[in-house]
Amino acid sequence: MTAVPLVEARDLVKTYGSRRQHAVRAVNGVTLKLMRGETLGLVGESGCGKSTLGRLILGLEAADSGSVEFDGSPLAPAGSAEWRRSRARMQMVFQDPLSALDRLLPIAAQVREPLVIHRFGSPAQMDERVADLLNAVGLTAAQGRRLPGELSGGQRQRAVLARALATSPDVLVCDEPTSALDMLVQAQVLDLFAEIQAASGVAILFISHDLRALRRVSDRVAVMYLGSIVEEGPARQVLEAPRHPYTQALISSVPGVHGLNPNRILLGGEPPSPTQRRPGCAFHPRCAGAVQACGQTVPAFRPASSPSHRVACHLLPTGGTPAAIARTVA
Amino acid sequence: MMFVVVRLARALLTILIVVSFAFVVLRLSGDPALAILTNEAPPEALLAFRQSWGLDQPVLVQYLTYLRTILSGDLGVSMRDGRDAFTVVAERIPITLAITIPALVISIAIGVTAGICAAFNPNSRLDRGIMLAAVAGFTVPSFVLGLLLVLVFSVWLGILPSGGAQHWTNAILPIVTLGVGSAATLARYTRAALLEVLDRPYVRTASAKGVPWRLTILSHALPNAAIPMVTILGFLVGQLIAGAVVVENVFSWPGVGRLLVASVASRDLAVVQCLLFFVAATMIAANIVADILYSLFDPRLRASTHGGGA
Amino acid sequence: MSDAVKQEEQLGMEPRRLPSASICCAIGWLGLLLALGLFGRWLAPYDHTAIDLLDRLAPPVGFGGSFAHPLGTDELGRDLLSRLLVSIQMSVLIACGATLLGAILGTLLGFLAAHVKGAVEQAILALVDFQATMPFLILALAILAFIGNSLVIFMGLLALHGWERYARIARGLALSANTQGYAGAVWQLGASPARIYLVHILPNVMATLIVSMTIAFPEIVLVESGLSFLGLGVQPPATSLGSMVGNGRDYLATAPWILIIPAATISLMALSVSLVGDWLRDRFERTGLR
């Protein structure tokens, strides 16, 4: 029953800044698993470290401590020849497609580039593959001949996706891929992600601050706060029955069709600063239900309602939903 | 305080690089003994020279010896002259200053004024005329301009002397020739800087409030425009130094520039080296002055924009 | 004053589709010079070193001269038209070669500084500062004094003019492309550094570099002609525009055409390149493309 995870990250820590300034601990001991063919959504506020985590998982940067294993073996150091070869199996999709594309080259040439780098086959085979990829993401051959500046935001993001999928990677890390797009286009691109995954079985780490996007594509969801994972589990469970107070506040703040939820949870206090960490749970200064233990020890990451749904919160064993304790009327 | 220390450190680094540059180039020139003493010197003199310069030592030792020699003030003896190189150069400096300083003053006066006129009438014929004149002034080589002026004023009109330094009228043409290039550069920069400032909201607001025209300029636009002009101060000084080399030759003005060319032609290396250090010192000083002026302008501006801005 | 200044009009050029008349003239003139630069020597009617003491100091056509020597002759009876053509060839070749070499050297060093970082980058930046501080003419004179002069040395020396500008530009653009931009994306695809620089960064940097080259070219022309005028540049029997002016200096009063003609050529060449460079820069800034 225990399948080997495709990507396994253990106790990743990444700190930026020198000792003179306040060091910023962007990732504070994260353990994460990504299984084959699944989409793991990673959600959190700006500055919580999710982008950094994405880069660490792909090996674009080296973690200060902890390990990342891909398909059972550790990642090669960034920039080395072996690391470059492994790029054929793991890829990234960025938030801003315009800056991720070379403005001087036509789209098709850029989609073709990974094939050239990794010596995919004969030029004719490469051309055929490029045509297939453009087709799969919904771009025409005519659009393929255009420069990035001549396409719309949605089309550019499709192009970036096509380029990322060119070598049939096993893992795709997508860092806010829809945040720069219009609403309608977001929906189309998200559907595209789901299609691609169904067709190719690629594992996706989908990083976003947009809960509605995550809801559409994720099999499992992890919630990140100030460099740590506070809740993780099957998408439906986490999004519909959240156990961590932060997750509950997040979920309740999503506007529905009829506007904002009048019973939504409002968080007090200041948004967190990673340079000034307090002892105990990182969230406790803003948690309405915090008890004394919350300010003293970091809560362990333990299963809540089911073994695959884990939460890091001291309030859990008390029974009853922490949400009832924490709810504040707007 | 920190600022001053950093600037001094950078200045020292630049001086070190200049001295090292001189050392490298000197070594590349072949046998420095032959170069400095020439091959007419007797073998014993060459040998003594080599020993005193430590030319039989490893390169690093030579470098350090060289550094020590230079920093102790011993800059060598002029080959042509027999005197101490430092003296040979130093006595000519006032002569060069006699034309470069007036040229700087005139070029600032003319260039800034022209730039202001151009900026206040953008795209008018006046503006285009000034800009074309500026480009011409910048690209016509100074020796061409100098010779033309000699042709017109000395040969055809006969009202100004063509060379030498006997009379103060000898200085007129060199000063004009020197000043043109810098005036042209200043005109372009002033115009661009002013245009950018005049477009800012707070200037338009002041103007809309009915503040008198000249007041707006003096209190708001000029100080802001002065900043980019201060940053090219170093460039201007460099332009004047390079210009002086050519202009002094065209007009036979016995200053530092003429000395440099003559020394290069006769390979009087001690003097060339000394001149190189003088120029470096001047440029470094100019840059430090520019930095100080820049920092002086800035806080004042910060105060005034917060006070009077939109 | 309130109909002030749209950005494209800041340089005094109107935003038209076609370049203005003066720019067209400048481009035409430059084209002519370039052609002469390649073929000048073979178009010359006489051997430019042929001395004819019987026909010294002949004025040009229209000022008392004949079509035998359309631009007159110099103090040794050499045909000025031929000398002019050969000089143009020399000056243009030196200026083009030096500009290109300087651009290549500066760009390589700039990329090196951006890529390797650390001590190498600091050393290159210190050199850039040094070169930017000293007036180039002085450095050139110092090198000429110490090392002597030959055509190769001279050309190499002129190539050092302005390298620091290309280095700064290349380094800056490479740095900004690397982490967040397209270069980072391609690196992440698994491209080797060589590929990133040659296929992606260099073409993107090219437009700015070319604009810098149009600024450097007239400056190199002026430095070369200045040095040759002083007798320290191109040495006889080779001739350049600057040395022609230097030669003609003694005859300023009696035969001014000897120096006026090459002087005018130098000025027009520098002026044209400046105008075209300004226009290119203007266009580039407006469209953002090349």
Q: Tokens at residue B231, please?
A: 């940053």
Q: Higher-confidence residue: B72 or B302?
A: B72
Question: Residues, chain A, total?
Answer: 330
Chain B, window 96-155: residues with a beta carbon less than 8 angstroms from a chain C beta carbon: 120, 122-123, 127-128, 131, 135-136, 138-144, 147-148, 150-151, 155
Is C192 in contact with A85 (Cβ distance < 8 A)?
A: no
Q: Higher-confidence residue: B196 or B95?
A: B95
Spatial separation of the C-alpha atoms in residues A261 and C29, rounded to whole Å: 73
Q: Tokens at residue A289, please?
A: 């239900």
Confidence of residue A329 (pLDDT cuts 50, 70, 90): very low
**Residue B14 is nearest to which of C129, C144, C230, comparing CB atoms?**
C129
Q: Which of C246, C253, C247, C262 is nearest to B157 (CA)?
A: C253
Is residue B10 scored above 80 in pLDDT? Answer: no
Helix or strand run (H / E) with residue A212: helix A211-217
Q: Which of A199, A163, A160 is nearest to A176 (CA)?
A: A160
Is A102 in contact with C182 (Cβ distance < 8 A)?
A: yes
Reported ipTM: the value is 0.80
Which of B143, B197, B232 would best serve as a mutation to test chain C binding (most C beta carbons within 10 A)? B143
Q: Higher-confidence residue: B304 or B133?
A: B133
Confidence of residue B137 (pLDDT cuts 50, 70, 90): confident
Task: Determine the average pLDDT of the residues in A250-266.
Answer: 74
Do β-strands A39-43 and A65-70 pair in parallel, antiparallel, or remain unpaired?
unpaired
Spatial separation of the C-alpha atoms in residues B259 and B81, rounded to whole Å: 11
Q: Higher-confidence residue: C223 or B171?
A: C223
Spatial separation of the C-alpha atoms in residues A193 and A160, rounded to whole Å: 12
- Among A110-124, C52-66, C264-278, the range with the most confident prediction by mean pLDDT is A110-124
User: What pLDDT does B220 receive?
Assistant: 67
Task: Determine the average pLDDT of the residues in C49-68.
Answer: 75
Residues from chain A contacting residue C287 (CB–CB below 8 Å): none
CB atoms within 10 A of CB A328: 12
| Tokens 């080779």 sit on residue | C238
Is residue A183 scored above 60 in pLDDT? Answer: yes
**Farthest-apart Cα atoms in chain B, separation:** 84
Q: Tokens at residue B155, please?
A: 């040969």
Around C73, how many Cα atoms within 13 Å sit in the side-chain half-sphere? Answer: 24
Helix or strand run (H / E) with residue A235: helix A235-240
Is residue C24 scored above 60 in pLDDT? Answer: yes
**Residue C12 is nearest to which of B131, B144, B276, comparing CB atoms?**
B131
Is residue C40 scored above 80 in pLDDT? Answer: no
User: What pLDDT does A324 receive?
Assistant: 46
Task: Determine the average pLDDT of the residues in B256-279.
Answer: 86
Q: Tokens at residue A124, please?
A: 């004719």
Task: Determine the average pLDDT of the residues in C52-74.
Answer: 75
User: What pLDDT does A111 receive?
Assistant: 93
The answer to whether C229 touches C252, Cβ cutoff 8 Å, is no
Residues from chain C contacting residue B28 (CB–CB below 8 Å): 146-147
Is residue C286 scored above 90 in pLDDT? Answer: no
| Tokens 């040495």 sit on residue | C235
Read off the pTM.
0.77
Give the residue on C whose Cα is nearest the Cα of B194: C10
User: What pLDDT does C36 receive?
Assistant: 76
**Residue A99 is nearest to which of C180, C190, C200, comparing CB atoms?**
C180
Determine if residue C217 is left, alpha or beta; phi over 0 gives left, psi from -120 to 50 gives alpha, anything else beta: alpha
- A58 CB near a chain C CB, below 8 Å? yes
Spatial separation of the C-alpha atoms in residues C269 and B50, rounded to whole Å: 48
Sheet containing A24-34: order of strands: A24-34, A7-16, A65-70, A73-74
Q: Higher-confidence residue: B99 or A305?
A: B99
- C179 CB near a chain A CB, below 8 Å? no
End-to-end CA distance of chain C, in Å?
32
User: What pLDDT does A319 receive?
Assistant: 43
CB atoms within 10 A of CB C105: 17
| Tokens 């795209």 sit on residue | B123
Among the ranges given (A40-49, A158-167, B31-40), the one the predictor scored with the smallest mean pLDDT? B31-40
Q: Higher-confidence residue: A250 or A40?
A: A40
Task: Determine the average pLDDT of the residues in C248-263.
Answer: 85
Q: Which of B135, B143, B136 is nearest to C227 (CA)?
A: B143
Task: Determine the average pLDDT of the residues in A280-297.
Answer: 78
Among the ranges given (A115-129, B279-293, C11-25, C115-129), the one the predictor scored with the smallest mean pLDDT? C11-25
| Tokens 């296929």 sit on residue | C199
Touching A: which chains, 3+ CB pairs < 8 A? C
Among the ranges given (A13-22, A73-82, B239-248), the one the predictor scored with the smallest mean pLDDT? A13-22
Spatial separation of the C-alpha atoms in residues A103 and A156, rounded to whole Å: 11
**Residue C130 is nearest to which of B14, B198, B260, comparing CB atoms?**
B14
Determine if residue A281 is left, alpha or beta; phi over 0 gives left, psi from -120 to 50 gives alpha, anything else beta: beta
Which of C188, C196, C200 would best serve as a mutation to test chain A binding (most A beta carbons within 10 A)? C188
Sheet containing A203-208: order of strands: A90-93, A171-175, A203-208, A39-43, A220-225, A228-234, A310-312, A301-303
Among the ranges given (A158-162, B238-242, C59-63), the one the predictor scored with the smallest mean pLDDT? C59-63
> Residue A19 has what DSSP assignment?
S
| Sign of the dihedral defined by the CA atoms of residues C80, C81, C87, C91, in that order | positive
Give the residue on A whose Cα is nearest the Cα of C200: A102
User: What pLDDT does C8 receive?
Assistant: 39
**Residue A114 is nearest to which of C181, C182, C189, comparing CB atoms?**
C189
The answer, yes or no, to whether the previous bond of C237 is cis (omega within 30 of 0) is yes
Chain B, window 174-203: residues with a beta carbon less than 8 angstroms from a chain C beta carbon: 192, 195-196, 198-199
Among the ranges given (A123-127, A178-182, B177-181), the one the predictor scored with the smallest mean pLDDT? A178-182
> Residue A294 has what DSSP assignment?
G
Spatial separation of the C-alpha atoms in residues B64 and B27, rounded to whole Å: 14
Strand runs labelled E in C84-150: none
List Cα–Cα distances, A305 to A302, A310, B153, C6, C206, in angstroms: 10, 8, 101, 64, 60
Chain A, window 267-286: residues with a beta carbon less than 8 angstroms from a chain C beta carbon: none
Confidence of residue B1 (pLDDT cuts 50, 70, 90): low
